[in-house]
Amino acid sequence: MDLRQMEYLVALADEQHFTRAAALCGVSQSGLSAAIRGLETELGSVLFSRTTRRVEPTDAGLALLPYARELLSQARAGRDAVVRVTRELSGQLRVGAEQCLGVVDVPALLERFHRRYPRVTIHFTQAGSYDLLDMVRAGELDAAFVASSDHLGALDRVEIGRRAILLLCPPEHPLATAAKAGWSDLEGLDYIDFHDSWAVRSINDEVCRAHGVHRRVSCTVDDIHTLLDLVHRGLGVAMVPQTIAAKPQAAGLRVVQLPSDSGAEWVVSVVTAPRSPETAAAVHLLELLSQ
C-alpha cells in the first residue's frame, strides 16, 4: 500500500463515482481504477461494490477507510512540519467562501494553512458567490471559493469541481416517486431558493427560463439548512447541487433528476485578484489545494 492508493481510496469512497474521484485526484479514470484493483489484489479483498449507477465501499473498504484517512492526515502534517521550519510567511490572508461547497472543505484547508504558516493572520468571510466576487474585485479579499464561473472579468480562476443540479421534494409531493422530471412537471410549483447573491439562484433561473418554465419562488433563504428544513416541511421544492442533496439533513427528501437536456451544473472554483506582494499568502493557500 502507498499514499497514492490511499488518496484514491478516500476519494472514491467520498465521491462514489470513478469519474468524479479521478478528477478530484487529478488522474485518469483508468489510472484510478487500476490502482484500486491493484490494492484489492494486494489485500486479497474487494474494497468496493460496483454497479452501473454508483460505487460503494464494502465492509472491507469501510474497515480500511479510517486508516487511509489517518495516513493521509499524517503525511500532510509531516509536509507542513517541514515547511514550518524551512519557510517563514507572515502578513494576512483574507479569504471568503460560499456555504457548504462540498467539493472543497474550506475550514479544513484553512486549518492546514494555519498550522503550516502560523504567523499569517487569517480573516474569513462567508457570503454568496456574487458578493464574494465583488469583494475580491474591490481588494477586500485575496481569494474566494465560489460556485460561479460567470462575471469574473480579470480575476484568476481555478476550477475545483462540478456537480449536477437536482430537484429535492418532500416525500408526499406528486413528483416524489418520479426518477426524472419533465419540464412541464416543473411549471406551477412553489420553489424554495437562495438569495440572488448565490450563484445557484442564477443557474436555476436561467435553466428554467431557457426551457419556458416560470418559477414561483415562494421562500428565499440565505442558509442551506433553512432551505432543507423548509422542503422537509412541505413548503416547496428546491433545485440544489448534488452535494446539498447528499447532506445528512436532506435524508428523507426525494431526489428527482432534471431533464437530461437541462445542462445545469454547479461549478466550484477558487478566484483570486491579480497577484501582488500583498496576496502572497493566497498563492500559498492555492498550493495546498494540490497537495
β-pairing verdict for 156-169 and 238-241: antiparallel
231 is written with which cell numbers? Answer: 422542503
109 is written with which cell numbers? Answer: 484547508
d(C-alpha 59, C-alpha 65), whole Å:
10
Same fold? 86-160+268-289, 161-266:
yes
**CATH class of this structure's domain 86-160+268-289:** alpha beta
Rounded to 5°, the CA angle 244-247-249 comes to: 110
pLDDT along the chain (291 residues), means of 10: 88 84 82 91 91 84 90 76 62 90 88 89 92 89 87 78 91 93 94 91 91 93 94 96 89 92 85 67 83 67
Write out the DSSP string of 203-239: HHHHHHHHTT---EEEEEES-HHHHHHHHHTTS-BEE
Options 3.40.228.10, 3.40.50.2000, 2.40.50.420, 1.10.10.10; CATH of 3-67: 1.10.10.10
Class of residue 107 by CB neighbours under 10 A (exposed 0-12, middle 13-18, buried 19+): exposed
Three-class secondary structure of residue 98 per DSSP: coil
* Domain boundary assignment for the chain: 3-67, 86-160+268-289, 161-266
pLDDT computed for residue 199 by the predictor: 85
* Domain 161-266, classified CATH 3.40.190.290, yes or no: yes
Q: What does each C-alpha distance from 175 to 127, 254, 263 come to in angstroms?
A: 32, 9, 20
Class of residue 30 by CB neighbours under 10 A (exposed 0-12, middle 13-18, buried 19+): exposed
pLDDT computed for residue 15 by the predictor: 80
pLDDT computed for residue 277 by the predictor: 47
> What does the buried/exposed string (b/e) look like for 45-59 if buried means 16 or more CB atoms within 10 Å of the residue's CB?
eebbeeeeeebebee
